[in-house]
Amino acid sequence: MAAVVSSSAAASSLAKAVQELAINTSAPPEKYIRKEGIGGSPSEFPYLDIPVLDLSLLNSSSPEAEEELKRLRLAFSSCGYCQAINHGIDTSFLDEVHDVTREFFTLPMEEKKKYSRDADDIDGYGNDTVYSEKQTLDWNDRLYLNVKPENKRKMKVWPENPTTFRKILLDLTAKLENVNEILFKAMAKSLGLEENSFLKQYGEDPIVLSRFNLYPPCPTPDLVLAAKAHGDASAMTYLLQDKQVEGLQALKDDQWYKVPIIPNAIVVNVGDQVEIMSNGIFKSPIHRVVTNPERERMTIAVFFTPDPTSEVKPVDELIDEENPKLYKSVIDYTGNYFKFFQLGKRPLDALKV
């Protein structure tokens, strides 16, 4: 999922970390300010009613499994989100993931910068790549790491401090691969399809990309976003929310809603490529992250994406006279995604028939 960068990208790779700005400045620099605001105070938005999905039922032959499949279809066809519980990942391990994330971001800045990304890549520690002088920057620092396929790993930017970081990341993605397979088969079954209908579009070398996020406190939360509004380029996204500090918001019916924190649940959202595969039945939600004036927030996102050489298209069985094909076929959907995203455009719209 390499980014296409402009000549200004080299400067952005050397930009001051937002973590440093939050400590050393009384107000965000102009390039972070959204002159139109964010539509209100972050605390004023209502909560989104996101279905809670019991994954242990989806992976069973119990009578309740059918009802859970209906709940899955409702979740992903209405808001594109679910809160996954009983997902098979121990609470103690999730605590380790949160702990190692916090340990990394609290390292001295010089230590973190050992893992800085190159100007022409997203892998590594850094913040926004600048594609346009008019671009409004996001109030966050992050660590992007390609995990799969293995030959795409750039180990020079994989932290060796904390010492357990690499092992925990590999364990997390292995566990989420199991969750992802369960959900992909369940999504197909919920639409009356053969269970591998979506999985077989993944190709030989699907991509697993992780992103560790730090959202420092911001003194002007009504004017600055921690992450601008976007849909995910992935097929599916799995998010470990901060345990205490909210920030994720989703757009539904032209209204922004807060995504609530449910302890030890994994927030799952449909990505653009599953919206294509499902011919628009499952929705890839537009979402954003707001800032907090007093508290920092940390999250971990893992993106599952088809092999960039694999053709992604609406499943044939979902197309008929009453349900025409809504999206063109595409190869390497993510190729120009980051450039479109930073310019405020949505590549999914370009694929509509």
pLDDT digit string, tens, across residues 215-233: 999 999 999 999 999 999 9
If you average pLDDT over every residue of the chain, what do you get?
A: 91
Render pLDDT for 131-182 as a digit per residue (tens, 0 to 9): 777 889 999 999 999 999 999 999 999 999 999 999 999 999 999 999 999 9
Render pLDDT for 318-329 as a digit per residue (tens, 0 to 9): 999 999 999 999
User: Is residue 206 scored above 70 in pLDDT?
Assistant: yes
Distance CA 6, CA 333 (A): 19
User: Is residue 2 scored above 60 in pLDDT?
Assistant: no
User: Is residue 6 scored above 50 in pLDDT?
Assistant: no
Q: Across-strand partners of 81? A: 269
Which among 274, 265, 257, 271 is positioned nearest to 341, based on CA atoms?
271
Q: What 3-state DSSP class applies to 313? A: coil
Distance CA 147, CA 153 (A): 6
Q: H helices of the chain, where?
A: 9-13, 18-24, 55-58, 64-78, 91-105, 109-112, 165-190, 272-277, 337-342, 347-350
Distance CA 104, CA 96 (A): 12
Rounded to two decimals, what is the model's pTM? 0.93
Portion of the chain with pLDDT greater than 90, in percent: 80
Query: Reading across the β-sheet that carries 248-252, which strands appear in turn?
Result: 225-230, 287-290, 248-252, 255-258
C-alpha dihedral sign at 117, 119, 123, 129: positive
User: Is residue 341 scored above 80 in pLDDT?
Assistant: no
Find out whether 348 and 272 touch, Cβ atoms under 8 Å: yes
Which among 74, 342, 301, 40 is positioned nearest to 173, based on CA atoms?
301
> At 39, is the pLDDT very low, low, confident or very high (cuts 50, 70, 90)?
confident
**Angle CA 158–182–243, to nearest 5:** 55
> Which residue is listed with tokens 């500090």?
245
Which among 152, 165, 140 is positioned nearest to 288, based on CA atoms?
140
Average confidence (pLDDT) over 268-276: 98
Average confidence (pLDDT) over 84-88: 97
Query: What is the per-residue pLDDT for 132?
Result: 75
Render pLDDT for 251-262 as a digit per residue (tens, 0 to 9): 999 999 999 999
Query: What is the per-residue pLDDT for 343?
Result: 67
Render pLDDT for 282-331 as a digit per residue (tens, 0 to 9): 999 999 999 999 999 999 999 999 999 999 999 999 999 999 999 999 99
Query: What is the per-residue pLDDT for 9?
Result: 38
Query: What is the per-residue pLDDT for 336?
Result: 67
Q: What 3-state DSSP class applies to 57? A: helix
User: Is residue 97 scored above 80 in pLDDT?
Assistant: yes
Query: What is the per-residue pLDDT for 339?
Result: 65
Render pLDDT for 179-203 as a digit per residue (tens, 0 to 9): 999 999 999 999 999 999 999 999 9
Cβ neighbours of residue 38 closer than 8 Å, sequence gap 6 or more: 221, 222, 223, 224, 225, 290
Query: What is the per-residue pLDDT for 8?
Result: 39
> At 63, is the pLDDT very low, low, confident or very high (cuts 50, 70, 90)?
confident
What one-letter code names the amino acid at 89? I
Cβ neighbours of residue 164 closer than 8 Å, sequence gap 6 or more: 96, 100
Which among 185, 162, 155 is positioned nearest to 112, based on CA atoms?
162
Find out whether 80 and 58 touch, Cβ atoms under 8 Å: no
DSSP per-residue string spanning 133-178: TTPPPPS-EEEEEEEESGGG--GGGS--SSTTHHHHHHHHHHHHHH
Portion of the chain with pLDDT greater than 70, in percent: 93
Count of CA atoms in the C-beta half-sphere (13 A) of 203? 19
Distance CA 142, CA 89 (A): 24
